[in-house]
Amino acid sequence: MAAGFDQTGPRRKRKKRQSRKPKDRALTRSENMSRIRGKDTRPEMMVRHAFWEAGLRYRLHDKRLPGNPDLVFPGRRTVVFVHGCFWHCHEGCSNFRIPKTRTEWWAAKLERNKARDADVLAQLDGMGWDVVVIWECETADPKRLAVLTEEFKLNRNASSRPTRNATR
């Protein structure tokens, strides 16, 4: 028998299998430092997941490219970096504050990181790659990630370009 009349209105569907949500609170400094340096960090996994779900396929950590980009889309000649807000100085972001102790040392260090990022970007640009930066704070919001992947899909910048064969 099919479900009969339901006098109580639409039933709420409950999904129990939802994976644990990332924490919303601002990160402590030690969390920032421990998390953002290595590969396969949580923000990066969130981005990979979103791109995969959107049907976008990529290579990981191409060591041949400047800056060792997190995601590489050879067909679109586009790379994606997932940047930790602290280490990469996300201006105006609550995760980016120069520590109150050893302030000058930190300021100099972060300034060097910024310079390195700019250098990597210039190199990639010179090689004909487009660069997309996704900030750690954006990765906590699935809606934001969905927007980013959609935008990425629409920018089919590389599809009309001739493929280069003379790489070696």
Question: Which positions touch Zn ion (CB under 5 A)?
Answer: 85, 90, 93, 95, 135, 137
Distance CA 168, CA 166 (A): 6
**165 residue type, one letter:** N
Q: Which is nearer to Zn ion, 42 or 158 (CB)?
A: 42
Q: What is the three-state SS of 104-168?
A: HHHHHHHHHHHHHHHHHHHHHHHCCCEEEEEEHHHCCCHHHHHHHHHHHHHCCCCCCCCCCCCCC
Q: How far is the CB of 167 from Zn ion (least distance, A)?
A: 35
Q: How far is the CB of 56 from Zn ion (least distance, A)?
A: 23
Q: Which is nearer to Zn ion, 72 or 137 (CB)?
A: 137
Nearest in space to 56 (alpha carbons), one of 132, 141, 164: 132
Q: Which is nearer to Zn ion, 27 or 76 (CB)?
A: 27
Q: How far is the CB of 82 from Zn ion (least distance, A)?
A: 11
Q: Is the Cβ–Cβ distance between 89 and 113 less than 8 Å?
A: yes
**166 residue type, one letter:** A
Q: How far is the CB of 159 from Zn ion (least distance, A)?
A: 31
Q: Which is nearer to Zn ion, 59 or 109 (CB)?
A: 109
